[in-house]
Amino acid sequence: MDSLDTAANNILKVCMGLNKSESFLVVYDRNKKDIAEIILEKANKICKTASKIETKVGKVSGEEPPNDIAKEIKKYDVVVMVTTKSLSHTDARRNACKNGTRVASMPGISIDMMKRTLTADYSKIKKKNEKIRRVFQKGNKLRLVTAKGSDLIMYLNNELFNDDGFYHKKGDFGNLPAGEVGFAPVEGKTSGVVVIDESMAGFGKLNENMIMEIEKGFVKNITGGKKTKELVKLLKKFKDKNVYNIAEFAIGTNYKAKITGKILEDEKVDGTVHIAIGDNSSFGGGKTNAPVHLDGVISKPTVFVDGKKIMDNGRLLL
């Protein structure tokens, strides 16, 4: 079995738990048709009902798909979304999960990424996730510090998301490749400065730092270089204050992931953390609905939970 075949098998059997009695759908856009065909071919060997449906290429992550796509995904037991922009934080995806559909979202997935990150031992990732989850579950106050200038305080709520790659129960949802544990910080309380230095969703790898000043749960100022100015311009276009909401904090745990400029993989890199702005109504106790969800990846983080250091310069201490 070659690496691509192993990856497709891991997606469907290991991660999604697809069995012969279930129905399967792959949602794709024209940029990801080749990957959709690989997954569909494998699905046809596992279950009796395996289909595909093409959607439009989204303009931004978090944009709702057409109504026909939203209706279709609710009809299947298992759905894999192979798209250019993320459909993860959409009402269409949320409603499908409420209806019992198990969904994996793979925005920006590439053949190379599949071969690398989806051949990982997900039982190993699951064990590391569980260590972090236990600490987060008991925690109240989190502090993020980096040598590049991040110093951020946020508060955990009692709901977490544990994206370990196993989506076997009705309504389960996650990204593939998987490998992160996080939460939606308590709204209105995050404060400080965060320096995003690795990559930013929609803008790829960064050659300059994006510096976000945060007060009472919202980004108040963003400074940096050319890509930062483009981000500022994009956010202003929405004319919605919720796009500035501090939506997520998570730790990456996938040991096969690397920084590529594609946020789907970048946010899973072992030893990094990421902060997201915008929508968090899909996970981790979040209450904010916004038309966008954008993650920024931070290298070599030092993380404290209730004063105890759990990461030191990117090394997990648990």
- The total number of structural domains in the chain stands at 2
279 and 298 part of one domain: yes
Quote the mean pLDDT of the chain: 95
Please tell me the number of Cα atoms within 13 Å of 66 on its side-chain side. Answer: 11
Boundary residue ending a domain (84, 117, 150): 117
The predicted pLDDT at position 39 comes to 96
Boundary residue ending a domain (87, 117, 147): 117
Residues 77-96: what's their mean pLDDT? 94
The predicted pLDDT at position 269 comes to 97
- Reported as a pLDDT band with limits 50, 70 and 90, residue 89 is confident
109 and 135 part of one domain: no
Can you give the CATH number for the domain in which 44 is found? Answer: 3.40.1830.10
Q: Is the pLDDT confidence value at 1 over 90?
A: no
Q: Are 280 and 288 within 8 A, CB to CB?
A: yes
Residues 52-58: what's their mean pLDDT? 95
252 and 277 part of one domain: yes
127 and 11 part of one domain: no
263 and 211 part of one domain: yes
- Full domain range(s) for residue 168: 122-316
The predicted pLDDT at position 219 comes to 97
67 and 211 part of one domain: no
Give residue-wise pLDDT tens across range 267-316: 999 999 999 999 998 776 788 999 889 999 999 999 999 999 999 999 99
Residues above pLDDT 70, as percent of the chain: 99
Query: Could you tell me which residues come within 8 angstroms of residue 150 by beta carbon, excluding any fewer than 6 positions away?
Result: 144, 192, 193, 194, 195, 298, 301
Q: How far apart are CA 254 and CA 146, in angstroms?
A: 21
Boundary residue ending a domain (59, 90, 117): 117
The predicted pLDDT at position 129 comes to 97
